[in-house]
Each structure stands twice: as C-alpha cells, then as structure tokens.
Structure 1
Amino acid sequence: MSEKIETQQARDESDRSLSPPRRGSLTQTDKGTWDRLWPVIACGAGLFSDGYLNGVIGSVNTMLSTIYADEYTKSSAQQNVSSITFAGTVVGMLFFGYTSDHYSRKWSLFTSTIIILLFAALGAGSYGAGGSVGGLLAALTAYRFFLGIGIGGEYPAGSVGCAESTGELKSGTRNMWFILFTNVQIDLGFVVAAIVPMITVLATTEKHLRAAWRICLGIGVLPPLSLLYLRIKLQEPEAFKRETMANTKTPWLLCIKFYWKRLAVVCTIWFIYDFSVYAFGIYSSSILANLLGTSYPLWKSFGWNVLLNFFYMPGCIAGAFVSDKFGPRKTLAAGVIAQGIVGFIMAGCYASLSKKENIAAFVVVYGIFLALGELGPGNNIGLVASKTSATSIRGQYYGIAAAMGKVGAFVGGYVFPVIQNNAPNPTRRGQDPFFVASALAIFSGCVAVFLLPHIGQDTIEEEDIKFRAYLESNGYDVTQMGMHALLAPPSNEPEREKV
C-alpha cells in the first residue's frame, strides 16, 4: 500500500512539474507591459488587410467599368470581382477556425498571412491568355477568391488570439485594446483604400487606368508583409495554453447544446451588419460617381469617397472607449439603433440630398450613418463573438459567426444592385437600399438588447470556468485540456468516459 501511495505521489509531482501552474487570473503572469501588449498588435493588426483589400475593390470596380465598359458591366464579372472575396473568406473562416482550435493559433495565423501575400500579388498581376479581357477578369475573380481564404484566417486565428491576449492586460481597458487592433484596423484599411485610388488616378491620369487599378491592388501586399516578423515571433496566448482541446477529443454534442442559442444570436447580428456595411463600402464610389455625373473627374469623385470613408474613424475610435465604459452589449445596441434612425432620415431626404449641389450634405449625413454603425456593431460584434464562448472552441465559434457575417456581405453585394436596378425611378434607386439597411439595423439592435448576454472585463476567464464545470458535470475528462496534456506521462488508471 505504501509503495502505491509513493508511486502516486511521484506521479503527481511529475505532472505538476510538466504542467504550468494554474494561476487565479490571466493577468498574473511574469510578463511586462510590452510583452503583454505586442501579441495583441501582432494578432489583430492584420485585419487592416481585410479593410484595404475589400475596400479598394470598390474603386477598382469603378476603374474596370470605365476601361472595359459593356464587357465588364454587362457581364457577371462586375458582381463576381466585387463579391467573390467574401465567398473565399467564408471558407477561410471555417477552415482556420478549426485549425486555430485543434492545432495552433500562431501557425494558423501565419499561414493565412502567406496566402494573403501570394494572392494579393497575383491579383495585381492578373492577365488573360492572349490579352483576353474575359480571361483577365476570370483570373482576377479566381485570385480574389483565394485571397478571401487568407483574409478569412485573420478572424478566427487573429481576432481570437487578440481577444485572449487582452485578458492579460489591465482590467477596464481590455475592450478598448481589442477594438483598436481589430475593427479600427479594418476601418483604417477602408480609409487608406479610398485615399490610394484617388492619389493613384491623380498621378497616372485617367488615360492610364489600366496601370492604376493594378497599383491599387498591388499595394495590398505591403500590410501583411510588415507583420511577418511579429507573427513568427508570436507565442500561443496564455488562455489557449490552459484550455485548448488540441490534445483530446472535442465533445461536439455538449458544445452545441451549451452554445447554439447564443451563437445563433451573434450570427444574426453579424449577418445584418455586414449585409449593409460591406455593400455600402463596395458601391460607395459608384454611388458618388452616379451622383456627380460622368463629366466630373474620376479622381475628384474618389476624393469625396475619401471623406466618406473617413467618417468610419471617429465612430470606431470613440466607440473603443465607450465599449469599456458601458459594455459591448449596450454600446452595440445603442449604435445600431441610432444608425437605423439616421438611415430612415437619409432615405426620406434623399431626393434633396442626391442633387449635385448638395453632395457635401449627402457625404456628411451618409458619413454619420456609417460612423454610428462602427460605434455599435462594427466595434462590438467581433468582441461579442470572441468573448461569449469558451477558449477551447473559441476559434470555431468565432469562425462560424464571422462566416455568417461574410455571407451577409456576399448577399448584400448581390442584393444591393438588384434593389437599385428594380427601383421605379432614380430617387427610389437611392432610397431603397437605405430603407432596407435601416430596418434591419433597428431589428438587430432589438435582438442585441433582449438576447445578448452581459460581457464584462473578466468574461473570458468566467466563461472558461462555466464551460469546464458543464463538461465535468456531463462526464467529460477536463484534466486532458490544456497544452500540458501532451507532455503528461500516461496513466495506468482507467480512462474516464469522454462524451
């Protein structure tokens, strides 16, 4: 008997030496301030590529319409080039959501970065066999799809890693830091995506649009390239090290039972948000070009688009601080309901705002509409998705929610032109998209108010505790969770049943 006790004590001591000590809080680490903060930057800042590469295609779309006229606008290429990235992004989100949970946050993120680099470069160099316009557009469409797969990886691997890394920062600032290096990066990408075409067309003139659109896409290679070193240096977040199921069986049925209702709510809100914001973003330069007329210089219409996109920034930056003060749920709901109200006002006044002499008023009101969307769901839907599930399945949970958002963006990219093309007159052509988007915004605000849970500063740790307790109460062996499980010596005791 004494030998058995000594053997068990030796095994327990071995386990403790191999396993990292279980701390009371993620903040109780030996890391300094910079060591805690730079992983947040490395994980989240890559979303700038999403904003830029998705935003710039709107201006590229306008250039291609000017260059190839009927060959482009009267074919499926116009919608495909603008929207196909979203289809690839859905694939990337689901695939990398799985790999980031079951293999590694770090290497999933690094792989997605390489894919973005490769296909951003190929997209800029798109060419059709024998100079064929159809071949060029088909190649560009294909490259944009694969580019989307890389962008998709930034969400479940990058944003999730960013959220988990903020858990090591000072309480009361965690939502702010997450937003500054996720949604603010996306919006900054949109702003830069508006500035670059304006400067490029002004420099090359409208006689060289064939070079201009390639330059605009080629610049998209630079942001992911600048992050390669940080992402090689990156380590797995502390929360992932403690809670991962990479080394054990995932109890899928229990995960679905515990989270399906909450996931459905998050998916609904994200679908509605991306339905309007990405569709408006893609077609904003075209909307302005139509308002200004064909005689207006293209670079000047792009200039108005810069001002329009700039309104994203005050909304998302101010919202970063508001989210810590009032919480993500209240901030999201208030922002999106206010956006819906402004949208209805804009739709009602569209006949006056759409006059060429009132273009400044149009841009300001439209900009306020966009800013409120960023203050609300733009900033907080990713935050909600990353903090309303346990670490062990966070990548897949987030990936599914974000994929539903991109499905909304994909649908919006196709539906908005249909809404406009079926309008009975030019005024309704401008009004109808705002009526649709505003009604959906108010609906999503009500969903957030009544169905989203409260999200506090310590929700990540609290959610992990609740989920572990739920798994254990259903007979799942939680001792195999965490990276230490791979190092622990095998036990001769019978294995507990895994659900």
Structure 2
Amino acid sequence: MARQQLQVLHALDVARTQRYHAWAVVIAGMGFFADAYDIFCITLVTKLLGRIYYHVPGQPDPGMLPRRIEAAINGVTFCGMIVGQLLFGWLGDKVGRKMFYGKTIMLMIMGSFLSGLSFGNTADGVMATLCFFRFWLGVGIGGDYPLSATIISEYSNKRSRGSLIAAVFAMEGFGILAGCIVTLVVSATFQARFNPPAYEEDPMASVPPQADYVWRIILMVGAIPAVFTYRWRVMMPETARYTALVARDAEKAARDMSKVLKVEFTGEQDKIESFTRDRDYGVFSRRFARRHGWHLVGAVASWFVLDIVFYSQIILQEEIFRDVKWIPEARTMSALEEAYRVARGQAIIALCGTLPGYWFTVAFVDVVGRKAIQFLGFTMMKGLMLVVAAFYHHLTQPGRRIWLVVMYAFTFFFANFGPNSTTFIIPAEIFPAHVRTTCHGISSAAGKVGAIVGTFGFLYASQRADGSNEVKSGYPSGIGVRASLFVLAACNVLGIIFTCLLPEPNGRSLEEVSGEPINREDADLGDSRVLPL
C-alpha cells in the first residue's frame, strides 16, 4: 500500500525553498554565529589572561596560565554544553522545540555578558568566576544544538533539507571569523592608544592596566548577536511535525503552517490516532534499540571521534604560527601585540580552510549525500595527518613551512566539508519525531565528551617529559606532534567505520528515513520493518 502523510507534512516535504526557509535559517544561524564566537574567542585571550594575572614580578617569562586554569576555562564550557544538550534535547521532545528556544539564547546572552564582568580579589578568584559564568554560557550553547537542528529539519522540504541545516551550522565559520576580527580591532585600538613598550624594555609596562579591558570587551561582544536573535525566536511557531506527531494536535499544526506557507490546510485530526499509534517508546526502550539502536551508536560514536580530532588540531596551531614567524617569542612583544598576532593567524586559517569547508557542505550535501561527505572528510583528514606526521621535520625547515600551513588549513577544510557538518545534520533526520531532539542531544553531548578528551589529553601531553610546564610554545614539538598526529589519524579511521552504521537521509522525508509508521497498515508491521543502512 502506498505510504500516506498528513496533508500539512506532505506540503512541507514538497514545498519549494522560499522566504520562510531563509527566515528560519537566519534565526537559527545567528544563534550558531554567537555560539561559535563564544566558544572560540576564549582561545584568543588565554595568553593575555596569563600575562595580566600570572606574571611574577622579577621573573624573565611574561606569564602564562597554569595548566589547571587553562584546562578549567576550556573544560567548564564543554561541561555546560553537555548539560544543555542533554537537558534541552529531552525537553524539546517533552514540551516542544519552541518552548525553550528563546531561553537558550537568554542563557547565552547572560553568560557572554557576565563572563566579561568576572570579578575577584585574586587571579584565581577572577578565573573562578569566569569559569562559573562560562559554564552557564555553555548550557545555553549546548541547548541550541538539538533545538536548532531539529527545528530546521522539521521546517525544511526533503530536497534541500541538508543544505538548510548545513547553512545554520555554517554560521559557526562566520562566528569564528568575527571573534578574530573583534580581537584584532580591540587589541590594535588599545595598542595604538597606550603604545606599550617591548617586553625587554619594561616587563610590567608591556601589559598596561588597560589590557584588562581588552579580554572583557572581546567576551562581552558575543552577547550582541544573541540579543538581536531573541525576539524572532520567541515569535516562531512550533514545528508542524512536533504539533501533529508528538503533541497530536493536527488542527493547530494546520493553522500554524497555513500562516507560514500561505496555503490553507485542514487539520485531519481523525488521522492522528492511526498516524501516532505505538509511538510511546523511549530512547532506552527495547523497541528503540531494535529499530534505531545502531543508528544512535553510529551518530554518537562518529561525533565523539570527530570532536577528538577537531579540537585536538589545536596542538599544531601555535607550533605552525611560530614556525612561519606569525608569532615571535612572547618576550619580544607586548601582551596586546601577541593577542593581535594570534587573532591574525587564526583569521587566516578561518578564511582559507574553515569557512570554505562549511559552505562546500551547504552546496553539495543534497547532491552527493551526507554519508559520502562524512566518508570523504574522515578519509582526507586521515591522509593529511599521516603526510604531515611522516614529513614533519622536513616541513618545518625554512622554505617548506608554507606547505605545513597549507596542509593544516586543508585539515580544517575537510573537517568542515566533512564530519564536523554532517554529524550535526544526520541526527536531526534519522530518528522519530518523538525522540528526535533527545537523540540529537545525546549525539552532540558525546561530541563534547570527545572535545574534552581531545583538548585535555593534548593539553597535558604538551608538557615536558620531566613533568614541568616549561614548554617554549605551550604545545608538543617534534616527536610529540608526530605521535599525536598518528593517534588522530587512527581516530579518523574509527570515524569511517562508525559512519557505516548510519542511514542515508538524502532526498527522503523525515518519516520515511526514520521508519515511522505513518498509517495504520505501517503501524501494524511493528518492529518487523527494517530501515536499510
């Protein structure tokens, strides 16, 4: 028997891409713009924080954050994201996607603003309050992942659904670039105004008192795009798929989508009972395990492995920047100049590798499919890392360093034209409506566990073999980089294997790809229906 759908859901699947799609992408995408700014801007100011708060008068080194403080600042945001992803993912299925959509952005606004107001009587006190506020910032950012991905997937048509979800995620690239630009502008402005001398001339004067404003301004600017997004988020109607298939109110779904699509729909409430029959099973039920267990394993494991690789790529960053003379030794420049140079280097990588990768995914995800792009990304990152690891000493020699930068940029390109984008897209498409945000939240939370493993693992691996923190660059060099790259290449191999567990959602309706029974005859088939990989 031919598969049937509610009229309003069928209309969403076949609708041409139009203004309301762009409107939804902008609303969700501005949240991800703010997300990326808030997550990555902290890496631009950590050296500045070390100079301001941990320089010891009379000591020759300019000061750096202790390992425990650096780990805490990075880790609390990820921990907050895990909480937000699991909590708001669960709430998105229980009370609706829209209900908490504005609340996540409010947490982001307050977290960004209050991070810049971090206070304390001692250096550790300031860092403690910074960690507290960034934890709550992370909760808001984490909640944005499952809610935004699911809202866009449920608003989209089946022909361009992947591109629309990818476009939301691609706003991360602009957020990263914006963080670099703000840091460049603020640090250059303060440097021109106060003109601090070189470090050798006056160690204390190389960190003028006004430098404390720089990092605070940079963090607080992250609240601005979130403020402009709040009003539009609270005005969005609930998705028709949640209203009809989870809340089981076909009349309201028809009214909401009539306003969006400018077409009149009937509610078809009489069909809801048969369309939603036997959908009360949860994520941890035996029935879910039989129908979608391997899919969840594939989504969770792929995102976990990807984030280990993605966040561990920072092990090369300062090493490369120093080798190509983008960042001289810290003692040869002022604190504000160092912040400027770090931001400039990251902006170049963002422009050459990160941003193009995101938008290649937008262009091709509905052409070649999600799994093909994920396979390609993991494969190319593995190959590039193996080449860099094998020829690392040759690539760090004068005259060859530009190739190290090029290959480093390409690893970011294929991370984003690859699993960094598709691991966000696929979980929003392959699970039933009543557990969709929960499963996306679990998958994204697994990714942030991977980020913690990658960031902390390689952060502590960067210490000297004798256990001291006296590392010239703060990151491993020579054999340390090579060994790390071989480990990351192996992680990419695991990513390729786990991708095989996922179905291909390209060109299929959400109900079809998730294997949901959408009429009484389908429901009667129960668990005997098998969704092909």
1:335 pairs, out of 377, 380, 391, with 377
Identity %: 21
Give the conservation status (yes or no) of the 8 Å contact 2:305–2:495. yes
The Cα of 1:357 is off from its aligned counterpart by: 6.7
1:16-415 correspondence to structure 2 within 5 Å:
22-23=7-8, 25-27=10-12, 33-69=18-54, 73-74=65-66, 76-128=68-120, 131-167=121-157, 171-182=158-169, 184-205=170-191, 207=208, 208-244=210-246, 250-252=280-282, 253=285, 254-280=287-313, 284=317, 288=321, 292-294=328-330, 295=332, 297-298=337-338, 299-310=340-351, 311-354=353-396, 360-415=402-457
Give deviations 1:131-164, integer Å, cap 9, x for gaps. Answer: 3111100000111111100001101111111111
Distance 1:272 1:30, change over 3 A: closer
The alpha-carbon deviation at position 176 of structure 1 amounts to 1.4
Go from structure 1 to structure 2 and tell me whether the alpha carbon gap of 1:30 and 1:446 turns closer, same or farther (over 3 Å shift).
closer
Q: CA deviation at 1:304?
A: 1.5
Change (3 A) 1:392 1:283: farther
Relative to structure 1, the CA distance from residue 466 to residue 85 in structure 2 (aligned partners, 3 Å threshold; closer, same or farther) is same
Q: Is the 8 A contact 2:176 2:350 kept in 1?
A: yes
CA contact (8 A) 2:113 2:223 kept: yes
Which amino acid is 2:494 matched to? F
1:250–1:461 CA distance, 2 compared to 1 (3 A) = closer
Name the aligned partner's letter for residue 155 of structure 1: Y
- Give secondary structure in 2 for the equivalent of 1:451: coil
* Alpha-carbon displacement from aligned partner over 1:422-470 (angstroms, at most 9, x marks no partner): 569731233333222222113212321x322122222413135535579
Q: TM-score, normalised by structure 1?
A: 0.83
Letter in 2 for 1:419: A
| Pair 176,65 (structure 1): closer, same or farther in 2 beyond 3 Å | same
User: Which of structure 1's runs of 4+ aligned residues deviate more than 6 A?
Assistant: 28-32, 246-249
Question: Quick check: 1:327–1:456 contact (8 Å CA) kept in 2?
Answer: yes
Q: Which amino acid aligns with 2:95?
A: Y
Secondary structure at 1:227 match in 2: helix
CA contact (8 A) 1:275 1:409 kept: yes
Q: How many residues align?
A: 450
- 2-side partners of 1:35 and 1:74: how far apart? 49
Displacement of 1:174:
2.3
Aligned equivalents of 2:435, 2:116: Cα separation in 1? 36
1:46-80 CA-to-partner distances (Å, cap 9, x unmatched) read: 11122111111111212112223368633511111
| 1:59–1:197 CA contact under 8 A, matched in 2 | yes
CA distance in 2, matches of 1:282, 1:196: 24
Is the 2:40–2:179 contact (alpha carbons within 8 Å) kept by the matching residues of 1? yes
Contact 1:160/1:395, CA 8 A, preserved across alignment: yes
Letter in 2 for 1:222: I
Q: CA-to-partner distance for each residue in 1:265-324, whole Å, 9 max, x for gaps?
A: 111110111112134359845863587422364122331221012210111111221211
Of Structure 1 and Structure 2, which has the larger fraction of its residues in helix?
A: 1
Moved more, 302-311 or 26-35: 26-35
1:393-421 residue CA offsets vs partner (Å, 9 max, x unmatched):
10001000000001111121101112222
Distance 1:32 1:178 in 2: 13
Q: Separation in 2 of the partners of 1:348 and 1:58? A: 28
Inter-CA distance 63–283: structure 2 relative to 1 (3 Å threshold)? farther
CA distance in 2, matches of 1:57, 1:381: 24
- Where 1:409 maps in the other structure, the secondary structure is helix
Q: What TM-score results when the alignment is normalised by the length of structure 2? A: 0.78
* Distance across 2 between alignment mates of 1:241 and 1:52: 33
SS at match of 1:466: coil
Please report how far the alpha carbon of residue 343 of structure 1 lies from its aligned counterpart in structure 2 after TM superposition.
1.2
Evaluate the alpha carbon distance shift between residue 75 and residue 474 of structure 1 in structure 2; reply closer, same or farther with a 3 A threshold. same
Q: Deviations over 1:101-140 (max 9, x none)?
A: 1112112111101111111111011001xx3111100000
**Aligned residues of 1:42 and 1:234 also touching (Cα < 8 A):** no
The Cα of 1:84 is off from its aligned counterpart by 1.3
Aligned partner letter, 1:211: Y
Are the aligned partners of 1:55 and 1:193 in contact in 2 as well (CA < 8 Å)? yes
> Aligned Cα RMSD in Å?
2.9
Aligned to 2:264: none
Relative to structure 1, the CA distance from residue 278 to residue 471 in structure 2 (aligned partners, 3 Å threshold; closer, same or farther) is farther
SS in 2 for 1:73: coil
Residue of structure 2 equivalent to 1:430 = 481
Flag structure 1 segments of 5+ consecutive residues without an equivalent.
Answer: 1-19, 477-499
State the Cα deviation string for residues 11-39 of structure 1 (Å, max 9, x = none). xxxxxxxxx96446143799992134312
Letter paired with 1:435 = F
CA distance in 2, matches of 1:475, 1:446: 29
Secondary structure class of the residue paired with 2:177: helix
Deviation at 1:213, TM superposition (A): 0.7
Structure 2 portions without partners, runs of 5+? 56-62, 192-206, 250-275, 467-475, 528-533
Q: CA deviation at 1:346?
A: 1.6
User: Which residue number corresponds to residue 460 of structure 1?
Assistant: 510
CA gap of 1:164–1:427, structure 2 versus 1, over 3 A, is same
1:246 offset after TM fit, Å?
8.0
